[in-house]
Chains A and B, each alone.
Chain A
Amino acid sequence: MHPLRVDNLSLHLPSGQCLVQDLSFSIEPGSVLALMGPSGSGKSSILSWLTGTADSRITTHGNVWLGDKKLNHLPTEKRRLGLMLQQDYLFPHMTVGDNLQFGLRGGTRQTRRERVSQSLVDAGLGGMEDRDPATLSGGQRARVSLVRTLLSDPCALLLDEPFSGLDTALREQIRRFTWDAAAQLPVLLVTHDVADIPEGAKVLTISDCTHSVEPLNIQTV
């Protein structure tokens, strides 16, 4: 696994308003960088830029690297950056198993099926391959969505408020599941809630075109 690195990122809205200026950071495999800031400060725009899906009207400068590989000019599908959003986006015309198979890369029909079954067992959802996603609870859906992202074999994980739609009881469970599952990957987590941030993570705060990186400190945050 390689670190995810961003060099001198600047984002400007079509009106000329600056969202981010000269932002640089690096996330090592197995570590988490939490991206915080007020609404509209550009957190989700940074994620969109990383995945190559930013609004074309936003002016961007800067480079993104995965190890030695520059990602800027690669299409989204070649970047291998796994993305999880607040909404789980399980495809409603596919079963749970088909959703996971959709994420999985390569393999024969048999091995693909086996890997999906094993992943579901690991996620505590064994035997749910043929279930309609609509019949799952919020927590189950969140786990399936994360497993689908991980099965696509990403080199880094981008999480855009993935826990905010869950109730309090589920949140802790899904957080633990996520950090365990993503233990080997560089993770960029966008969140408003400091409780989402795992121990040892650094916090990157952006606001009004300024930014700062600090170790997680509950009191200062």
Chain B
Amino acid sequence: MRPLLYCLAAFVAILFLLPIALGTAGTVLPAFGLVDSLASDDGFATVVGDPRFASAVVLSLRTGVIATVLVLAVTLLTLVCVHDTKLWRLLSASLPPVLAVPHAAIAVGLLFLISPSGAIVRLISPELTGWERPPTDWVVPDAGGWALVIGLVVKETPFLLLAAAAQLSALNVEASLRIGRTLGYSPARCWSRLILPRLYSRIRLTLLIILAFNLTVVDMALLLGPSSPPTLSVMLMSLVNDPDSRGAASAGALLLALLVAGCFLFMWGLERYVGKVATARRRSGARGRGFGVFRFAGKGVVVSLLFACIGSLVLLLMWSFTRRWRFPDALPSEWTLQNWTTRGDILLQPAWTTISIAITVTLASILTAITWLELERHRIAPKIDGIWFLPLLIPQVSLLFGWQAVALWSGIDGHWGTVVYTHWLYTLPYVVLILAVAWRELDPAWGHAAHTLGAGYWTVLWKIRLPMLRRPMCQAAAVAIAVSVAQYLPTLLLGAGRHQTLATELVTSFGGVDRRVIAALAVLQSLLPLLAFVLALIYPRWRQNRLQRDRSPKQTRAIA
């Protein structure tokens, strides 16, 4: 039996690593002109010679790095200023639903909020501004990419904040603050010298994932980023669609991966430098002063972030039911259901494709994760937490260009199964990592107790372990659905245009379709993961309540 299980572990590992290895090869080989059928040109010379290249690199670096720095700064500021307050509890409750909203939907919502004809301008016009028409002084998306930076900060900060919040309990924050303060340090100094250095090492990997994402994002850059020049990833997208520029696209994807690697290296160097400076400062023993103003500013940032997230979602919902909303009215003057009922062609088919892919991918991811974790528990599969992060650390553009080339070559491109497989590659890391914590923490004594009562392996798994892990499994399923629903590039590149999901429909329709229908698309795209998160929250509680309800009468009878 054991050799078979080793084969199963090897099969899962190969299934996961195969697209990564082939995708990398599929990008690297054409980039160097080693695949004649895919690259006839000198890829590097072509892409570097593209007049947009230098500006695209600068724009990608600027938006990606600034957004990441801001995400980190806002997260740390939030923790220092808001932790253990009522605002923190409100924020903690808002994080999962905000995380569930796909990037493209948030981007569209933000456009409705910050554009010249957006809600912020409407709220203060014409009373404060005198504007009777949308101002023309600025445009969104702007040439500097600041709208994209805002979008990335709004979407990625909750991700880092959630990762950080999950680590705080292990750091004994209350005790550290108490000891630090009785030693004479201000709360801000206690955070900066006692808690943040330890927290940072625990959220470093998440931050790297965010940096890689911010530098290489495509869907948000298409919606919020400038178009001339675009970011490097968007520029490469325009090349990959041209068969004659395949080599250039691959070479560009490789350069993008190197750019990300270079940023990782820079971050590593910066970390070491900041660490040395922080240690020297800590040794000075300076106690610091109170941080009233600092705390006030921090709370302002948190409130702004919540406003941007929730405001964007509310605006999407309002626009999707709007018939007439003239500038500068603060609210629509006429409401309608027509945006939902008359554009079934845009809404229904993509929704169905999205749901079918998301559910299949979720089931496959959970099954794979359980298989691996069970094999790991029986010491058949190794613990490879770092490896699961690979697809998230390699830029999607760099990996998927190659994977698409392999799919084209092998004739599996455009198949529904290929799209599902590629989505699975991106959902599995989250599912494994969510389940792994609970799986490893579950006391094996429960299983041992069941075995001594005569239960076999499958009975223990089905009747004991899985029901006891119902809550994390539901959470993992919700996250998997959210990740799958948000996937734009995998669907676009591997689906060969045959599988329109809400993500691809939203991005491709944007600009060409009425903004009210776009809003309906974005709402629909957001609803699916939100629904999954609500179910993940309610279902385990409902099961628990039912169990308690079922038990009560029996207990009463027994007592009687």
Q: Interface on A for B, CB 8 Å cutoff?
A: 51-53, 75-83, 85, 87, 89, 91-94, 98, 101-107, 109, 112, 148-149, 152, 154, 158
Least Cβ distance of A100 to chain B in Å?
Answer: 10
A103–B285 alpha-carbon span in the complex (Å): 7
Q: Tell whether, in the assembled complex, residue B279 and residue A76 are in contact, meaning their CB atoms are under 8 Å apart.
A: no
Whether B287 sits at the interface, judged by CB under 8 Å, is: yes
Is there an interface contact between B283 and A107, defined as CB atoms closer than 8 Å?
Answer: no
Q: Report Cα–Cα, A83/B181, bound state, in Å.
A: 10
> What DSSP secondary structure best describes chain B's contact surface?
helix
Whether A53 contacts B285 by the Cβ 8 Å rule is no
Q: How far is the CA of A148 from the CA of B285 in the complex (A)?
A: 12
Known: A92-B198, A93-B197. A87 touches B182 (CB 8 A): no
- Identify the closest chain B residue to A95 (Cβ): B279
Give the distance to chain B from A96, nearest Cβ to Cβ, in Å. Answer: 13
Closest residue on chain B to residue A75 by CB atoms = B290
Q: B285 touching A104 by the CB < 8 A rule? A: yes
Smallest CB–CB gap between A21 and chain B, Å? 26
- Binary A-proximity of B165-200 (CB < 8 A = 1, otherwise 0): 000000010011111011111110000011001100
A98 and B181 contact, CB distance less than 8 A: no
CA–CA, A58 and B187, complex, Å: 21
Minimum CB–CB distance from A11 to chain B (whole Å) comes to: 18
B residues in contact (CB < 8 Å) with A: 172, 175-179, 181-187, 193-194, 197-198, 279, 282-285, 287, 290
What is the CB-to-nearest-CB distance from A4 to chain B, in angstroms, rounded to a whole number?
Answer: 14
Which B-chain residue is minimally distant from A80 (CB atoms)?
Answer: B184
Q: How far is the CA of A94 from the CA of B194 in the complex (A)?
A: 9
Q: A98 contacts which chain B residues (CB < 8 A)?
A: 279, 282-283
Residues on A with C-beta less than 8 A from B290 are 75
- Since A77-B181, A104-B285 are in contact, a sample of 15 more A-B pairs with Cβ atoms closer than 8 Å, ordered by chain A residue number, is A51-B181, A76-B182, A77-B182, A77-B186, A77-B287, A78-B184, A83-B178, A85-B179, A93-B198, A102-B282, A102-B285, A107-B285, A109-B283, A112-B283, A158-B182
Minimal Cβ-Cβ distance residue in B for A104: B285
Q: Which residue of B lies closest to A79 (CB)?
A: B182
Contact (Cβ within 8 A) B282 A83: no
Contact B175 A85 (CB under 8 A): yes
- Chain A residues with CB under 8 Å of B187's CB are 77
**Closest chain A residue to B193 by CB distance?**
A102
**Once the chains bind, are A75 and B181 in contact (CB under 8 Å)?**
yes
Interchain nearest-CB distance for A40 vs B (Å): 19
B181 & A76 in contact (Cβ 8 Å cutoff): yes
CB–CB A83/B198 < 8 A: no
Known contacts A92-B198, A102-B193: A83-B179 contact under CB 8 Å = yes
A-B contact pairs, 26 of them (CB 8 A): A51-B178, A53-B177, A75-B186, A77-B182, A77-B183, A78-B184, A79-B182, A82-B182, A83-B182, A85-B175, A89-B175, A89-B176, A89-B179, A91-B176, A93-B197, A98-B283, A101-B283, A103-B183, A104-B285, A105-B184, A105-B285, A109-B284, A149-B183, A152-B183, A152-B184, A158-B182
Could you say which residues of chain A place their CB within 8 Å of the CB of B193?
102
CB-defined contacts of A154 to chain B, threshold 8 Å: 182
Q: Is B176 in contact with A81, judged by CB distance below 8 angstroms?
A: no
Query: Closest chain A residue to B290 by CB distance?
Result: A75
Contacts of B179 in A (CB 8 A): 83, 85, 89
Q: Which of B194, B279, B287 is in CB contact (< 8 Å) with A91?
A: B194
6 closest Cβ contacts across the A-B interface? A76-B181, A83-B182, A152-B183, A77-B181, A89-B179, A77-B184
The complex places the Cα of A106 from the Cα of B283 at a distance, in Å, of 10
Looking across the interface, which residue of chain A has its beta carbon closest to that of B197?
A93
Q: For the complex formed, measure the closest distance between the CB of B295 and the CB atoms of chain A, giving whole angstroms.
A: 12
Query: Which of B178, B179, B283: most chain A Cβ within 10 A?
Result: B179
Quick one: closest A residue to B177, CB to CB? A53
Chain A neighbourhood of B186, CB < 8 A: 75, 77
Look across to chain B and name the residue whose beta carbon is closest to the beta carbon of A92.
Answer: B198
B198 touching A148 by the CB < 8 A rule? no
Residues of B within 8 A of A52 (CB): 181
B171's nearest neighbour on chain A, judged by CB, is: A92
Collect the chain A residues with CB atoms within 8 Å of residue B198's CB.
92-93
Closest to A97 in B: B283
Query: What is the bound-complex CA distance between A209 and B313, given in angstroms?
Result: 52
- A98–B280 Cα distance when bound, in Å, is 10
For the complex formed, measure the closest distance between the CB of A18 and the CB atoms of chain B, giving whole angstroms. 25
